[in-house]
Structure 1
Amino acid sequence: MDDPAKQWARLSLKAKENQTIDLPPAVECNSRILVAKLFTKRKVNLEALTRTLRSMWRSIQTFEVRDLGSNTVLLIFEDESVPQKLMMQGLWTFDKYLIGLNKPLGEESVEDATFDRASFWVQMHNHPLCRIYTATVEQVDASTIGECRGRFLRVRIQLDINQPLCRGRMVNIGEAESQWVAFQYEKLLIFCYWCSVLNHDEKDCHLWTDGSATVRTEDQQYSAWLLTRPHHKSSTVTSG
């Protein structure tokens, strides 16, 4: 297929086509919409997806779902406050696959939508309780008096879903010896056990498709140990 730029260079515009049209001032029209992408290679049935969304969002009385192709849909709501609420309340899933949400801003079109970030609740085990860096997280799970100490530190973090999930990090604590802080992700979705990336599963990973004759499932570096059950009966406060 020719380069679109080369195709454009060969076009000969008629006089009417070459006339410039002044567009009216921009009108905010994106406040009621979200663009959603399903992170699965399988073709998603639009009716099944719509039923699932209406079940998850049963408190939202009216919204419309339009197919944009490539497992991407446009969501149109009556209430302008709903899109931002859904963005804040996620994580949302369909058949255990991540639903990426994007809220177009200003004059962005649906084609400009990107789906590279999602927010997760993460349990940090063996984290030094006196060292809490709230600037790096969206929320910290804490009691009504602001106490967040317990068996683990629980935080809501926005992650780049194109990057591998971290199993933990080595941290330095002053002059003391470095220690391992293990991460466990609540409500973790289908992800790749080969490379730990969220936007595909192990059957679609290039490490498997390119080297299926030599790789073995027992060689997988990532597994369900990254997953933990949701932490119930907790309150959350926005981090500082």
Structure 2
Amino acid sequence: MENLAEKWNSLSLSEKEKTNFVLQRDQQTGEFMMAAQFLTPRFLNMEIMARTFKQLWRSTNGFKIRNQKDHRVLFVFDNLGDVDRILKNQHWSFDKFLVMLQRYNSEILVRDLVFKTTLFWIQVHDIPVRFMNRSVAEEICDTIGEVQKSMGAVDEEGGNFIRVRVLVDISLPFDKECELWMESKGTLKSEQQQFNSSLKAAPCNAAGKEVIYVPGFYEQRKPKAHASSQVLHAQPSPSERRS
């Protein structure tokens, strides 16, 4: 490394080589990109990755994958709606490991991107029934990360818990790759662990709804069309008017 630094310092540029090159905005392609950091320690098989996310994302016109090395990848789309939808539905995983995504505008190098936070659905359990509302759950989750405010959609309630969207700092030591675990070479006792796999929440029940809203009696019987509630009066025929 020192030899490389010495060689770099010994280099000199001619006046022509010192000329700056500025990228023009109108030279950009009509592409929309996401940069991804794969947290798997294994080798990335690009073909398997392509098949996996093709099934998961179901993009409008497909996409391209550009390998950037060091487990970093660019996903290239020609449809902004696909990118918005994929980012909104984070987080994603591959090979049972987390995949971190962010928009990429090509103004900086992929290798210089910082991947530190990602979105998680956090389940808040054991809230007293009379306090079981979104504002309470969000205040609790403020201690975890940056809460993404929600309008409280029905499918975010799991019956006995409330789900909250939180931007979490994944550099915090809450998994098997944390420094304490690595230094102990896997011998850290359970009582010495601040976090463990019990933090992993079970997925929401996809087979049936845990929370059902029943409309009021009269709400179900509202007329579908205003005209149907009007009384129609028949006009007399010309012969009837003469008589």
Assess same fold via TM > 0.5: yes
Q: Which residue of 1 aligns with 2:25?
A: 26
TM-score computed with the length of structure 1 as normaliser: 0.67
Q: Which structure 2 residues correspond to residues 89-128 of structure 1 after superposition, within 5 A?
A: 89-105=89-105, 107-127=107-127, 128=131
Q: Which residue of 1 aligns with 2:54?
A: 54
Q: Which has the higher strand share?
A: 1
Q: Which residue of 2 aligns with 1:161?
A: 170
Q: Which residue of 2 aligns with 1:142?
A: 152
Q: Does 1:211 align with 2:184?
A: yes
TM-score computed with the length of structure 2 as normaliser: 0.66
In the superposition, relative to structure 1, how do residues 104 and 5 fare at CA in structure 2: closer, same or farther (>3 Å)? farther
CA shift digits 1:147-201 (9 cap, x unpaired): 969522321111111124xxxxxxxxxxxxxxxxxxxxxxxxxxxxxxx14xxxx
CA shift digits 1:14-72 (9 cap, x unpaired): 23212x24525434558611111110222221111111111111244310011111111
In the superposition, relative to structure 1, how do residues 105 and 227 fare at CA in structure 2: closer, same or farther (>3 Å)? same
Question: 1 or 2 for the larger relative contact order (CA 8 Å, sep ≥6)?
Answer: 1
In the superposition, relative to structure 1, how do residues 210 and 22 fare at CA in structure 2: closer, same or farther (>3 Å)? closer
* Count of aligned residue pairs for this structure pair: 197
Q: Which has the higher helix share?
A: 2
Q: Which residue of 2 aligns with 1:15?
A: 15
Runs of 4+ in 1 over 6 A off after TM superposition: none
In the superposition, relative to structure 1, how do residues 234 and 13 fare at CA in structure 2: closer, same or farther (>3 Å)? farther
Q: Which residues of structure 2 form unaligned runs of 5+?
A: 212-243
Counterpart CA distance in 2 for 1:220 and 1:52 is 34
Q: Which residue of 2 aligns with 1:42?
A: 42
- Aligned-residue CA RMSD (Å): 3.4
Q: Which residues of structure 1 form unaligned runs of 5+?
A: 165-195, 236-240
